[in-house]
Amino acid sequence: MAILNLLASQRKCRLSEILTGSNPLVRDQSLVEYNQNSSAGIHICALLDSDGTPMEVALAVTKLVDEGFTTVKLKVGRRASPAEDAAVIQKTREVVGYKINIRADANGKWTYKQAIEFGSRVKSLCLQYIEEPVSSVHDLIKFCENSGLPVALDESIDNLKGDPIQKLHQFVHPGIVAVVIKPSVVGGFENAAHIAKWAHMHDKMAIISSAYESSVGLATYIQFAYYVDRQHDLISRLKRYDSWGTVAHGFGTYQWLTEDVSEQKLQILVPPLGDGMGASVEDAHGYLHHLNINDEKIEKTYSEEKLNSYAIEVDGNHFSYVVKVQEAGDCTNVSIAQLI
């Protein structure tokens, strides 16, 4: 994130412009042309830990819909039985109707038999997908073939070692309709971009998701997600197939944080002419450009270890900066650095 924002600052443009090719220094002119005709924003999916009775969950979803969310993800696989989770989905559909997308996320907690039971109970309730219903890849493919429910990957791609593209081949099954990508988990933005492109080339949704990052992380993710959406639109156009339409990315985690690293608020709202909760690339850029860290929110106390402070100066042809380092413990421990 720091490197990408430094490049954007050096070129006096937004980070999203470097990613999408809007900056004249980037040579992907096909993406440049398409990006110029695209609205600079993304849609966001809400995240709900579905504790409580089915009616309580349904009312919580209603509140999110009233706020402007058109896609909601419910956590499942934490109740006594899949039947109880299915009852939550059923009640939510009864109360909210079919005007929103509902995603379910089991985090691989079910056995194959339990996942099939859940699938049989919700197959008429129009889930956008069930995320990681089982933990085994073999059972996952078998579930795709026998349940009839669309499936999304998440943890299955988190632990891929080496070149992820080669190992993604095992997930080409058409029943897998989406890939949930956490850049901080899969190895950074380059790996995330490769996985997203693989998903698009195989007609699957690529959903960028947060692992509970602060607003600093989310502001960069918003711009990266915008790039991923533009890439999808371009690939759809080149392949001449219908795109998935609007994809809601997994940034609803911002609602779960009671504090943040900055007093500034990252703007996440329903645009005046919009059709769901979203975030503007321009707002995300402005948030990072004018960022002020709230020192009162940063823990600065250490115990039982000596804290060493020193500075590293770096001079280049067209830049100069200082890295101020505060280091605790021996050389095997992680250093805490602040870029000045």
Provide the annotated active-site residues: 73, 182
Among residues 107, 118, 221, the alpha carbon closest in space to that of 156 is found at 107
Contacts for 332 with CB less than 8 Å, ≥ 6 apart: none
What CA–CA distances, in Å, run from 191 to 151, 218, 294?
22, 18, 31
Q: Which amino acid is at 72?
A: V
For the record, the structure tokens of 8 come out as 């954007």
Angle at CA of residue 250, ends 224 and 272, nearest 5°: 80
Structure tokens at 199: 């998903």
CA distances from 332 to 8, 284, 327, 329, 335 (A): 33, 35, 11, 8, 9
Greatest Cα pair distance, the chain, in angstroms, is: 64
Which DSSP string corresponds to 260-321?
A: -SBSS----B--TT-SSSEEEHHHHHHHHHT--B-GGGS-----SS-EEEEEEEEE-SS-EE
Radius of gyration of the chain (CA): 22
Helix spans in 82-240 (H): 82-96, 112-122, 137-147, 155-158, 164-167, 183-186, 189-201, 215-239
**Residue 101, both tokens:** 């997308």
Which amino acid makes up residue 227? Y
- CA-based nearest residue to 208, from 75, 44, 15: 44
